[in-house]
Chains A and B, each alone.
Chain A
Amino acid sequence: MHELGIVMHVIKQIEELAKEKQVHEVKELTLEIGEVSGVVKEYFVDAFNWAIKRTEHMQNCKLNYITIQAITYCEDCKQTYETVKYGKECPHCHSKKTYLVTGRDVYIKDVKVD
């Protein structure tokens, strides 16, 4: 359900772009989706394929779904590590003074249009 909300916002932005650039059809859309964005790929793709049928320019749009690895930075030892594998605690020095660098965003990268 969360996925549907994001899909709707993505589609709204692409449809506006298509109108602005006077595009005939949006053929492909590339999204970069963070590993810890809370998006479940299967749900997202289903919601996307349902929602594009109700659009003007994206009826046959192919979705390129790129997963972006989540990386956390440790403020104490200044190293980075894989968030999904180790969580909040740094595997190098066991500090908890860490923050997420990448992996939370849902990013619209580009579209192919004609």
Chain B
Amino acid sequence: MKEIKTIVVNRSAYADNDEEANLLREYLKDHGTFLVNLMSSPGAGKTTTLTALINLLKKDYRIGVMEADIDSDVDALSISKNTGVKSIQIHTSGMCHLDAGMTKSGLDSIDISDLDLVFLENVGNLVCPAEFDTGASMDMMILSIPEGDDKPLKYPLVFEKCDLVLINKIDAIDYFDFDMEKCKKTILMRNPNATIIEISAKTGKNINQVVNYFHKKLNSWRAD
């Protein structure tokens, strides 16, 4: 029998994914395609918000959407029907998040050669998607009023990672015990650089502010 030896690895479990994600960011930069990773709980309004946002952004950018779900293609169908932009569904085969490898396969199948801006709608979940770097150019999330103002305390990592936090369903705030100031304070404690915008995807309130945010973000990314 051969001798057993020890190989010291000392490497993060996320190391290979982080490398792939950095390569993907460079690849996107070379192609001039800005990739947005959108995260939230199930039912926070990702698809409705994206629909409202894309309808205002599509005259300025060629947009694509990748919908990640464990199963079904209802979101991809809904986006393409309501916005007319190119959309595909990525199935994660039971996985609760996307990693950089899955994101790259998605980008290959949507074909980014004619796209300026791609939204990746991650699996509805506040824990796992935050752990894996997808290789996106920016991360954003949606927190909705019915979920409660304590979510940034319970799921700190996703709030720490996101450049943009949208607080959705503000048209329903009167019906819930949601302390807006407390919530914003907690988010900024976790992430002092976060931009927070209160919106209602249903009524369209403040979606124009999000549109302006993206114009600025894309301009500075292109100039960088």
Contact = CB atoms under 8 A, between A and B. Distances in A.
B46 interface: no
Interface string A1-30: 110111001101110010001011001000
Contacts of A6: 13-14, 131
Interface of B: 1-17, 94-97, 99, 127-128, 131-132, 157, 189
Interface size range of chain A in the complex:
20 to 34
B4 A114 contact: yes
A4 B5 CA distance: 28
A114 B94 contact: no
B212 to A, nearest CB: 32
Contact of A106 (B4, B12, B127): B12
29 contacts: A1-B94, A1-B96, A1-B128, A2-B96, A2-B131, A5-B128, A6-B14, A9-B13, A9-B14, A9-B99, A13-B15, A17-B9, A21-B7, A23-B7, A31-B13, A38-B127, A38-B128, A106-B12, A107-B12, A108-B10, A108-B11, A110-B8, A110-B9, A111-B7, A111-B9, A112-B7, A114-B2, A114-B4, A114-B5
Contacts, number: 84
A109 B16 contact: no
A94 B39 CA distance: 32
A70 B64 CA distance: 41
A96 interface: yes
A27 B4 contact: yes
Contact of B97 (A2, A14, A110): A2
Contacts of B15: 13
A107 B189 contact: no
Contact of B127 (A2, A27, A110): A2
A30 B15 CA distance: 16
Interface of A: 1-2, 4-6, 9-10, 12-14, 17, 21, 23-24, 27, 31, 38, 96, 105-114
B185 to A, nearest CB: 11
Given A105-B12, A106-B12, A113-B7, 15 more contacts: A2-B96, A2-B97, A2-B131, A6-B13, A6-B131, A13-B15, A38-B127, A38-B131, A38-B157, A105-B13, A110-B7, A111-B6, A111-B7, A112-B7, A114-B1
A79 B203 CA distance: 49
Nearest to A108: B9
B58 to A, nearest CB: 33
B5 to A, nearest CB: 6
A4 B95 contact: yes
B122 to A, nearest CB: 13
A113 B13 contact: no
Contacts of A109: 8-10
